[in-house]
Structure formats: C-alpha cells, structure tokens
A and B are shown apart, each in its own frame.
Chain A
Amino acid sequence: MKKVLALVLAALLVLTVGSALAEAKAGDGLYIGVVYKQSGNPYFQASINGFQQAADELGFTFDHDGPDDGSNDGQIRIIENFINQGVDALIISANDPAGLVNVCKEAMDQGIVVVSYDAPVAPEGRTADVEPASFQQVGDILLESIAKSIGYEGQIAILSASATMGNQQYWCAAIEKSLQENEAYANLEYVGTVFGDDVYDKSFTECEALINQYPDLKGIIVPTTNGAPAVAKCIQDHGMSTKVTGLTLASDMKEYLDAGICDETFLWNPIDLAYVASYAAVALINGDITGEVGDTFTAGDKGEITVAQGDDGGNTIFLGALNTFNTETVGEWVDIL
C-alpha cells in the first residue's frame, strides 16, 4: 500500500512539476504592497526575503515601503499610495493598530485584501492577521527566560519601544498578567516599563536612568530589536550583573550573548512570517479562503495552517513557537537576522 501511495505521489509530483511550467501559478499577475513599520529596520529588511521567496513560488509581484520615522501617518501615506497604484493586496505591519483602520477600510471597500503581519491592524480594518505566536505566549517565554536567568528572585523591568505600538503594548500586558497570576514569579518585583522609542541612543539613556533608579535591578526584558543591543551595551559599560533578554536580532546580540549579559534572546523568523502572510494574501485574493476563524489553507513549505481566534478578538494566523538564540545557536543566525 505504501509503495502504491509513494508511486502515486511520485507521479503526481512529476505531473505537477511538468505542468507547473505550462500552468499558471496561483499568484500570477497579482500585485501586492508591503508596508512595514520603519524603513531601515533590519528586521523588516530580512522579511523581504520571505516575500521574495513566496513571490517566486506564487508568481505575484510586490513593492515594499515603510516610513522613516516609524509613524502612523507615514504609514497612511504609503498605504494611500499603494491603493492608488491598484494593488490587489496590502500586507501591513502596523505602528498603531487603531490608527490604520480607516485607510484599511477604504482599501477593503475597493476590494483590496488587507493582511496585517507581525503587528496587527485592529480586526475591523483587516481581512486577516499573521502572527508568530500569541501575545501571551511571547510574554510568557520572555518572562520565564529572565526569571530563569536571575533565579526567580529580584527586581525586573521592561524597556519597550513606545506606548502606542500594538504588539509592544500587548507583550508588556501579557508579562504583567503572568507576573500577577503565576506563583512561580512571586519573588519577582516588577518596577515598571520605560520607553526607548526604538532609537538606540534614547534606549541607552533610558536604561542608564533605570539602573540609576534601581541599582539592584536584576533583569531587563527588551521586546524590541532596536532597544536590546543598546540596553545590553549599557549594562556592559556600567559593569552591572543585570541580565537582559528580549526579542532581538542574532547579529546584534552575539557579542552580548558571548559576554554573558544575555543568557538567551528570542525572535521569530521574519522570513517565514512574510512567507506565510504572502500565501494567506494570495489565498484570500483568489477566494480560496475568506479569512474566517477555522479556514484552512496551505502555506507553501510551511504546510497547512488554520485561521484561529487572535489576541485582539479578530481572526489570526499563528505561526508557532519562537526562535531561541543562545551561545550555541546564535552563530547560525548572525548572517540571517
């Protein structure tokens, strides 16, 4: 039976490969506009590879842009430009979940599919959302990591990007929730969250203020790729034993992982995230799925994915777990992230 199945599969494979040359791809002729939070952010730079890979497989074309200043109004201008250019879908990482709703509704009224990825647009302004892991899951992973590093005891703080950035807000809320509810963290004292605006020197100064105010600070969670290296460098410069964890790029943190300032840091794979978002967008444009909770689609080599109920009450496509960087694994990722 297995042999027969294998033969059938092999035959199918030959057929599909053979016919792929002649047959149109699912995304042929489609044009997608990608809008990320901020131009120049290496995280989003990396995600372009995922869009490119999906574009090669599905046959669509895409352009990408993000505001220099990471602002909401900058994103609105870019989205309006894309609408005028007649895109079939927008794939957006939102600086402010509520801020983009109007312009995204405008796009949806014109029949454009709106998929948010990495940082969601509020449910009423999107067709679907693609996320690496639920906010609670990310928050729990970060909190558990820092707690483990400092032996489940002592003061901890969060250095976030900005108070209005969607995902930052939710991760911090998730961390705060677990701190209150989980008995394992009873001996952790949470001193608060500060904001570094996702700017290196600002994050550095904010970190200096933190360790100044709390000289016994044991751990800092930095759920932002631009802030984490600044915080780690600040801790290193001041010769503190404070531990740092967060969502970071591998290349930024290798130095500090090797120096022992971080035991481990995390990130998802922005390439995979972009890849799945592209497949979701094409499936939505073609009407294969509507984006309702429970819909299932095939995301290329990532296999079948089911649309789930998201953290914000809307429909969300979750990718799975986080990528862990430690002294052993970070080397594999430095050239990618």
Chain B
Amino acid sequence: MEETDDRRHAGTVFNIQKYSIHDGPGIRTLVFLKGCALSCRWCSNPESQRPQPELAYNKGRCLGLDKCVRCPAVCVRNALSRSPDGTLDIDRARCQGCHMPCVDACPAEALIAYGKTMTVEDVLAKVEQDGAFYARSGGGMTLSGGEPLYQADFALALLREAKRRHLKTAMETSGLARREALAEAAPLLNDVLFDIKHVDSRVHEAQTGMPNDLILANFRMLAEEFADTRIRVRTPIIPGFNDDEATISAIAAFLEPYPRVEYELLPYHRLGTQKYVFLDRSSPMGETALDKTKLPRLESAARDVLKERFRT
C-alpha cells in the first residue's frame, strides 16, 4: 500500500511556519526540511545545513544556573556545565546524537532542538489546519530548507500525499539535487522557487562550497520539460558576491530564453546572525551588510533583459 507508506514516511523537520505570504501564491505554510549540500557563507538558516538534529542555546532566555539546574541534571554525557558568568557552557564535542532530554527539561525554552523527526502524516496534519485560508487565497504548502530534496524520499512522500489531499504545493530549492529526484518532484509541484546565485561556477564554488553546473542543468530540465509547473527564479543579493550589475545581467541573460520563468531579487538580510550564536558558530559574513542604494540599479539591470517577467 503505497499510500500508507507515504504517510508513515519520516524525515527531519526544523520548523513549520504558518501565514507565510512571501514564498508562493496566497497564504501558505512553510515546512522547513533539514540538510543542505551547500554551505553558503550568507546562509540565514544555519540550523538548516546539517542533516541531524542540533542543540541550540539562547542565552538571553536562560534563567542562569544559579536559579535553575534542570538541564545539567538530565545530561548523561556531561556536556553541560556552568560557565564563569553563570550561564550554560555546552561542550559541543560531547553533545551529540542523543534525544536531547535537556530541551524538555528547560523551563525557559533557552535550549532549543533544531530538527525533529516527523512523519508525513504529522506534517500534513499541521499544514491542513490552515485549509480555510488556502481555499480563499490560493495558498498551500511550501517545502523549504535546507534543501528539501536533500531528504528526497521524505520530500517526495510529502508532495505525493499533499497531492492526494488536493493541497497546492510549492518548493523553494537551491537546485542542488539529484536530477531524478527533481524530475519526480516537478509534476507534483504547482510552483517552484528556484535559487540561482551566480552563473560563474568558480565564483559560485568559492562562496557556496559547490560548483553550479548541476544547478543550472537542473534548472534547464525543469524549465524545458515541465510546462505545468510555474517557476520563479530568485537571487539572494549578497554583498561582495553578486551585488553588481554585470552579475545580475548575466543571470538575467541566462534566464531570458525561458519565457515562462519569472525572476525576483532578494536583498541579503542579517536576521539569521542570532542563530549562529545559538549554535556556537560564527557567522561567516560577520557584520557585513548590504548597501541598499545599489538595489535600484540591480533591479533595472534585471528588468532591461527580462522586462515584465522581472518582479519586485
């Protein structure tokens, strides 16, 4: 029974976000799947990169170990101790692979588990709660990540089951996925939001850790072979990487032969920096911010090539 199999299929999800209105048509629910093969320096969801669940610590919410010692008490690996300032010190080398009882013990929600195992049934039960809003707005479920196809079997099971329930589906993708997985996902998707960050593969590799040839090939396949799937390409504008007119013009020129494809620019934001801190990592971008005065020129570079297919 294929149907039952899909519903029981489990994967790692790190967030489900209701009332999302900037990622696909209508009012949507975003399902964030964990794991990504890229390691973009500007990643605003650092908790999405690794496939396994991770422990994070929001020091600002912690009551301090003078007032509460619930978490070290339950840690069997002795990974949690008191730091000199009274907050929690996590020994990252020791802390791994357990079910994180410390998160359940924490009364203040200072300890956070990024990623939990959910079945397709669990996820869709959450997604369907907002069914009344999808019906009126043309919205539905958007898979996001990480890279949703990093957990390809889980993502495909989610999409198949969503289609059986007549939900509208969309997926945000980095494009870095097995060709077969993308080809299988495409007919199950009403909309694809496809990231193209740079057309020069060497520059791409330097900043994301991977070349872009598979990404571009995947894009071509999607655009050429799946006429029923709407495609919107998005470029995150990253300072020092692609925030120049030549780069944007080159991406636009690459897209120009595909008349169905829409294009959008997403200015870099620093909302993710705090999460690096929670994970005891440092943000590779540091304090770098985007010079927003550049945006109009980048927009007109894209518009020159793509005309009304460029969306703001």
Real binding pair: no
Listed in ascending order, the chain B residues whose CB lies under 8 Å from chain A are none
